[in-house]
Structure formats: C-alpha cells, structure tokens
Chains A and B, each alone.
Chain A
Amino acid sequence: MNKSIIQFAILFVVLTLLQVVCNKVILFDVATPIIFIYLLFRFPVNMHKALLFSLAFAMGLIIDIFGNTSGMHAMACTLTAALRLPVINLYITREDEMNSPLPSIDSMGFTCYFKYVSTMALIYCTILFFIQAFTLNDLLLTVERIGASSVLSILLLLGIDSLVSTRREKKL
C-alpha cells in the first residue's frame, strides 16, 4: 500500500511538470494535450469518494496555480472524478470482471480500458474548454478545441500508460 502511494506521488510530480510544459503546446492552433489526468484514471475503484474528490480538487488546483487559470482545472477535475465510477460501470457490467481494483489494461482488457480512457478524456476536455469558453462564446472553435485536444490527450495517455506499465512488469 505504502509503495503504491509513493509511486503515485512520484508520478504526480512528473506529470505536473510535464503538464506545465504541455500547457504551452498548441498544435494546429487548437490542440493542447492534457496528461496529468492520467493519475485520476488510475486511482483504485474502491477508493473512498471523499478522498478521491479531495485529491482530484488538489491536483486541479496545483495545475491552476502553475497555469494561472484560476479554478478551471480544479472544477473540471472534481466533476470528472464524480463521473468516474458511472463511466467504469458503463463498460464493465459485472463486478467480478475486474480482477484488481486498479483500472489498467491488465485488469480491464485493452478495449474496455481504451474506451474508459477515451470517454474520461473527452469528458474532461469538454468540461475544461466549455469553462474556458465562458468569456469567448465561439462555439465552433470550442468544439474544435475539444475534439483535437481529446484526441491528442488520449494518444499521449496511452503512451504514458505503456511506459508506466512496462516499468512495473520489469520490477515484477
């Protein structure tokens, strides 16, 4: 248990630093990769809700402080955290289908995990860019940003996933 907490902490620091760099990336004027949410996807399913919300809020707040976005990521993170279990239940109908509480390719199977990550990334990007668009009301641009950013984020998230999980296998 302690080991996994430390692992999560290290992963969080690395992902936050990467996100700070990623915030500056704007591919084709629309796509900004959002990768720090990877951690939110990987929390155990049976984690206590209060802890989950608190961690999600804290993660978002830290990214906000770095990016001067004042509450945008904090809000999107908290809302996405609340939608996490319903999304998992959407793809996994029976309780015993997951052989470990950690959502991963091993425990869920690739198709299920891919669907789960894509849905969550899409939800996150939708919330985030609609909060951003509060002041701009340019719907087409917002939709473009949501689409492009979620595709880019999903690709990067799966890349991160492969990196992290191979390292784990080597350890075992």
Chain B
Amino acid sequence: MKHLLEFITKHYPWFIFIVYVIMSLMMLVNNNPYQQSVYLTSANSVSATVYEGISSVTNYVHLKDINEDLQERNALLEMEVVKLRDEINEYKLLLPDTAIQPRLNQYKFIVSHVISNSISQPNNYITINRGELDGVKPEMGVVDQNGIVGMVEVTGPHSARIISLLNPNMVLSCKLKNSEYHGNLVWDGVSPEYAMLEQLPKQVKFAQGDTIITTGYSAVFPEGVIVGTVASKASSAKNSFISLKVKLTTNFSQLSTVRVISNNMRDELKELEEKSLQQQEGKKK
C-alpha cells in the first residue's frame, strides 16, 4: 500500500496526462454531449466576436464575385416572376371565382453573415452571426444565392454553428429534376466542389449537366432548392443502386451572406410525428 502511494505521488503527472488524453479522445470520438455544448464550439460569444472582427475585414475580398452571382440570380428570379404573373393572369381569366390559397407563408428567411467557414477539414462547420434571439433554431436549413449551404446544429444567443454540406455527418435527400427518383447526397471528403448522390435506383435516367434539387421530405428544406448538377456517374455496379458525382452550385470558399430557412410548419410537423410515435408505442404496450 505504501509503495502504491509512493508510486502514485511520484508519477502523478502521468496520470494527469492519461486523463487529458482520454478526455480529448472522448471529444474526438463522440460528437455529443461535449461538442454539442455551445461553450466548446465556435458558437460561443468569445470566438464569435473574434470571427466577426476578422470577417469584417476579409469580407471585401470576394465582394465582386458575390455581386455578380446575386445579379444573375436576381435576373433569373425576375424572369420567373414575370412568367408566373402572366400565368396567374391567364388562370384568373379562366377561373375567375377561385381564391388562391395562402401557402407561401410557410417559409421565412433570416438573412445572416458567415463569420467563419472551413472547407479543408474532414468535418467542416460554418459560423453565422445570427442566433436564438434572431429566431435561429437547431435543424433549420441554410441556403445562399447559389444553393444549399448546410443545416443549423448549435445555437448561441447571437451566433450559430452550421454543419456544412461539406461534412460527412450531413445527409441530404435529393432528386433529379423532372424525375421522382431520390437518393442521399453525402460529401465524400475529397473536393469542396463535388459531393456524391448515393442510393439512386439503377433505372433512373440522367444526362451530364442535369439539375439536382432537394426533395422537401424533411421539414428542413423546401422542395426544389437547387443543389448541383450531375458531373459523372460514379462506378458502383455491385448492387441495384448507382451513385452520381454532383458538382455543387454553392461556392463554399466564397460564402458571405446566407439565409436561414425558418419553417412555420416545423413545430406542427414535429408534434404530429411525435404523436404518431407515441401512438405506435402505446399500441405495442
């Protein structure tokens, strides 16, 4: 016993060392609950302030390209508005009595700035300068003018951390435009410009350059948001599924202004899901 005590007092720094290694291993291996806590991520107020300062300087660098993107997107939307207006007028002539259902209010956008962003890590995250007090909640979708950016993971009062689409933990349900076949979009960790659309049924027809859009099956993203275009077919002839290499439309190295999508129906949908789960469990009992 005396020897043991002596051994411990003599070598206690090494015990501390082992404790630290185990702590960091735990942080590495399980993403929660340590990683989920706001204090240990970039969503905490100190690192958010630092990043805000840095980004206020570096934001100017990509301003020209972003402006061009915005102009292009604006032109596209304007054309769409004109087209839709014409269509609505035509329908109104045909069916003068029908009232149009107010469905558009389901989604609301919260505009925010990216203050920190990484594309070189195996797991990438983005920090934005809007948080709980601005109405940002976990599991909200995030888009920019070009396409999908990611999903809110942790929120602080004035900042939030987003799982980037360039993160293998982020799985997005997507489909080919003009087709109902859907698959899962996952980043394979190689290039920030490409991701893989997996588990598509073999019979799906596609051509290079076809547009990939979201399915809207979850409450995170509305249906039809552009994700990317088909670059090539990835070889996987093993089973009845195929994978596509998708060129992402979002330029992750130049993110600056993004929009967080707030879905008014989200709580309702969640409640419904929980209710049905409870009912199922009740039946089992």
- The size of the chain B interface, using a CB distance under 8 A, is 36
Pairwise interchain contact A135-B168, C-beta atoms closer than 8 A: yes
Binds B, one of A3-11, A34-42, A67-75, A157-165: A67-75
Report B-chain residues with C-beta under 8 Å of the C-beta of A132: 121-122
CB distance from B21 to the nearest CB of A (A): 6
Q: How far is the CA of A50 from the CA of B11 in the complex (A)?
A: 10
What is the CA–CA distance of A136 and B23 in the complex, to the nearest angstrom? 22
Contact across chains for B13 and A49 when beta carbons are under 8 A apart: yes
B27 within 8 A of A: yes
17 contacts between A and B (CB under 8 A): A21-B54, A23-B118, A24-B117, A48-B13, A49-B13, A61-B40, A65-B40, A67-B42, A68-B127, A70-B35, A74-B24, A74-B27, A78-B17, A78-B24, A132-B121, A135-B123, A136-B189
Which of A's residues lie within 8 Å of B, judged by CB? Answer: 17, 20-21, 23-24, 26, 32, 48-50, 52-54, 56-57, 60-61, 64-72, 74-75, 78-79, 82, 131-136
**A49 to B12 CA separation, bound complex (whole angstroms):** 9
Q: Given A70-B31, A70-B34, A135-B168, decide whether A53 and B16 contact each other with a Cβ distance below 8 A.
A: yes
Q: Does A26 lie within 8 Å of B120, measured CB to CB?
A: yes
Known: A21-B54, A57-B24, A78-B21. A68 touches B122 (CB 8 A): no
On whether the beta carbons of A75 and B25 are closer than 8 Å, the reply is: yes
Flag if B24 contacts A71 (CB, 8 Å).
Answer: yes
Cβ contacts B4-37/A at 8 Å (1 or 0 each): 0000000011101100110111111001001100
Task: Say yes or no: B14 contacts A49, CB within 8 Å.
Answer: yes
Knowing A26-B120, A135-B123 touch, does A65 contact B28 (C-beta < 8 A)?
Answer: no
Point out the residues of chain A lying under 8 angstroms from B28, CB to CB. Answer: 70-72, 75, 131, 134
Residues on B with C-beta less than 8 A from A78 are: 17, 20-21, 24
Q: Closest residue to A82 on the B side, CB-wise?
A: B17
Residue of B nearest to A78 (CB): B20
Given contacts A24-B118, A26-B120, A136-B122, contact A70 B21 (CB under 8 A): no
Pick from A24, A61, A66, A71: contact of B50, CB under 8 Å: A66
B59 within 8 A of A: no
Q: Given B27, B40, B120, B189, which contacts A135 in the complex, CB threshold below 8 Å?
A: B189
Q: Provided the pairs A75-B25, A78-B21 are in contact, do residues A66 and B47 lie with their beta carbons within 8 angstroms?
A: yes
Q: How many angstroms from the CA of A71 to the CA of B24 in the assembled complex?
A: 5
Q: Which of A53, A65, A136 contacts B17 (CB 8 A)?
A: A53
Which chain B residue shows the least CB distance to A54?
B16
Q: Are A65 and B20 in contact (CB under 8 A)?
A: no
Closest 8 CB pairs of A and B: A71-B27, A49-B13, A75-B24, A71-B28, A74-B24, A68-B125, A50-B13, A71-B24
